Structure 1
Amino acid sequence: MHFESITRPDGAFQQPLTAEQVVAVCRRGFGRAPVSAVELGGGSFNTTYRVDLGGLAAILRVAPAWSYRIERGFMRHEHAALPFFAPIADLMPRMLFVDFTRDLVPRDYTFQTVLGGLPGAEGFRALADKPGFFRRLGEIVRTVHGVRGERFGRPAGPLFAAWSEAVLSIVDDTVADIHDAGLDSADVREVAALAAKNAAVLDEISEPRLLHGDLWVPNVRLDGERIVGVFDHDRAMWGDPAADWSIFEAGRRPGTDRDAFWDTYGRPADSRHAAWRSALYRAVHLGAVRIERHRLGLAEKIPASYEQMAGVLTELR
């Protein structure tokens, strides 16, 4: 077997499998050893390989050996949510094999089909019609948000009867993660207190909707002007559409091509309570960004999260 692995420093969060482990998981899933396995860059959480199984190409995705609370079980959440993405199934990779037993390797892993097109960031740079891209993205996100659920929270659990309970669970985990990372969590503790105080405002959201959790430029594939692939929904959850990462990103740079997103998605509600919830969701995202930057060793970018959180807290108080 031809095997290529990315060299990373000792202690790096992403860790490769050995060639022998890749052979073992391929034999379990497909009954044969691969011709080649090449590790792919670009992601920052799972370890990913393009595997040639002799007439069948597949993407092997391997979960990390450890993760923070707000990132635990991502691959299991992704798998549990997959049936609910049926309205955009033609854009998503097909699941070929899943193994969460952890007996061959002490990590979850899946095999998926290979999506066509170019990585979103690469294809986006070449686009002549960037507003057209954002209009199409708005359509896709609106379709996802049209899927109704029964309870709030992560697809593989825990699930909650009230939206406030799901949000408070995430914020409490974020506080614990930031503390465990050796960072100051005082601002996120205040976010948690404000969320608890205003639970009734959160519980105006009474119908769970499907959220992709990370649907933006990096997690699509492009063929010219067309979006031909959508992937990495491991942050999926049932909740308020306004809390989705797509909405956070669409609103980050008003007055740019991103504004075209709202042409097809529709403008968000502008009531006082909707504005408060939107600010709270920004705070939740900033907490997650802080954890991710710490995990990736981007210490120089962590202070910005405190500055941005301070601004959001003035809206929440």
Structure 2
Amino acid sequence: MAHQHPNQHSNQHKDQKQNSGLHSPISTEVLNSLVHKHFGDHVVVKKFGLLQGGLFNTTYRIQLEHAPITDIILRLAPERVQYPMTEKSGKHIERDPLFSFERTMMAAEPIIYEHYRVAGIPAPEVLACDDSAQDVPRTYMFMAFIPSVQLDHASIEEKDKNHLYTQLGMYTAKMHRIEGASFGWPQADGTIRGSEHWSEVLLAIAEETSRKAAQIGYMPGVGEEIMAIFEQNKALFDQIKQPVLVHNDLWAANVLVHGKQGEMSIAAVIDGDRSMFADREYEAILNTDSDAFHAGYGRPLDPSPEGQARRHAYRLLSSYFNAYVHQHQVDQPEDGRIFEERTLDLLEKWKSGQFR
């Protein structure tokens, strides 16, 4: 599931001061040791800086000397902490703030970008990815720095923006032609953790979110209602037979662009770690009202009542997930309240059959 902002065409949360407990800087000594492990002892760290904006991973830009690539990015996933089970009212309570898929997603990111490259989608260059926890208790990745701005940067003129959104639609269509053997989350070894049935993956997401919310008394009863929707409508979701790759966090801030005005193009689609094999219409950006994007995508949404119902259920599940995440995982309560209100509204509309 994606960590989305309430307005997917805004990058507000990219500019907010970091206050997520998941985001944890490392010492200069550890940073140097990781660089030397992967690039050699002769390489010198000229300077580095912690990049602000992420609520989940910790990201550094590093300038090197005596290395083939001298401008690199280091991203570190949240720390691998063993959270003991605690007792509350006779029940075992899990305290791990992360969802199960979040524990493995960065390690699978090189696989995602290889899919992109084969399909002709511009992707970051992964220089190294380490999931061993030998040097630091977290997965980390070195990538080549890409000179660029985000697609929602204020300097981009409307004409360029229309062209870029058309291009993004074309790349999204290419992504949605990448087929998987089953539904679920790619793993570092190339397998997929999930199910042959789309309904089972959706229900698993709903169950885990509901369980975490219930353990802290968040939105009581809502998780059970959402779980029931996916439990009672398995046949609706299992009409989707072919899993395809969806980015699952595709919005302007995760699209890097470069070039001068009038000649801009997409440099890379980034932050693909939340990707999964799913129904193509699970991709939230398909809800955009951008004519340019849809012109590039070149494929209409399923207009049938079943298609509308599925998309509504996806929005409901995503909103519920994001309400919990923003309130209790990354400490963004204002966004959390927006998602909470949206969840309740979508739930009521589901009950009344208002799927448009």
TM-score interval, normalised by the smaller of the two chains = 0.7 to 0.9
Aligned to 2:157: 127
Is the 1:60–1:111 Cα contact (8 Å) retained in structure 2? yes
Q: Does 1:316 align with 2:328?
A: no
Q: Which whole-Å CA distance do the structure 2 matches of 1:81 and 1:15 have between them?
A: 25
| Residue from 194, 211, 214 that aligns with 2:229 | 194
Aligned to 2:213: 178
Cα gap change, 1:159 to 1:19, in 2 (>3 Å): same
Aligned to 1:61: 75
Q: Does 1:83 align with 2:114?
A: yes
Letter in 2 for 1:226: S
Secondary structure of the structure 1 residue equivalent to 2:167? helix
Aligned to 1:38: 49
What are the residue-to-residue correspondences of 1:102-113 with 2, within 5 Å?
102-113=133-144
Is the 2:107–2:129 Cα contact (8 Å) retained in structure 1? no
Residues 41-72 of structure 1 deviation map (CA, whole Å, 9 limit, x = unaligned): 12221101111221422111000126421533
Q: Which whole-Å CA distance do the structure 2 matches of 1:84 and 1:316 have between them?
A: 35
Is the 2:22–2:57 Cα contact (8 Å) retained in structure 1? no
- TM-score with structure 2 setting the length: 0.79
Letter in 2 for 1:38: G
Q: Does 1:270 align with 2:300?
A: no
Cα gap change, 1:82 to 1:133, in 2 (>3 Å): closer
Letter in 1 for 2:76: V
Query: Structure 1 residue 182: deviation in Å?
Result: 4.5
Query: Structure 1 residue 291: deviation in Å?
Result: 2.7
Aligned to 1:219: 254
Secondary structure of the structure 2 residue equivalent to 1:136? helix
| Residue from 282, 291, 296 that aligns with 1:243 | 282
Q: Which whole-Å CA distance do the structure 2 matches of 1:158 and 1:311 have between them?
A: 32
| Structure 2: unaligned runs, 5 residues or longer | 1-16, 81-96, 352-356
Q: Does 1:164 align with 2:195?
A: no
Secondary structure of the structure 1 residue equivalent to 2:60? strand
Is the 1:144–1:211 Cα contact (8 Å) retained in structure 2? yes
Query: Structure 1 residue 181: deviation in Å?
Result: 5.0
Is the 1:87–1:144 Cα contact (8 Å) retained in structure 2? no
Letter in 1 for 2:343: M
Letter in 2 for 1:28: K
Residues 74-93 of structure 1 deviation map (CA, whole Å, 9 limit, x = unaligned): 21232343332234556211
Aligned to 2:103: 72
| Cα RMSD for the two superposed structures | 2.1
Letter in 1 for 2:250: L
Residues 190-242 of structure 1 deviation map (CA, whole Å, 9 limit, x = unaligned): 11111110000100000010111112100011124321121100110001010
Q: Structure 1 stretches (4+) deviating beyond 6 angstroms?
A: none
Is the 1:38–1:50 Cα contact (8 Å) retained in structure 2? yes
Is the 1:279–1:312 Cα contact (8 Å) retained in structure 2? yes
| Residue from 20, 23, 29 that aligns with 2:32 | 23
Structure having the larger proportion of residues in helix = 1
Cα gap change, 1:90 to 1:299, in 2 (>3 Å): closer
Cα gap change, 1:160 to 1:8, in 2 (>3 Å): closer
- TM-score with structure 1 setting the length: 0.88
Identity of aligned residues (%): 26
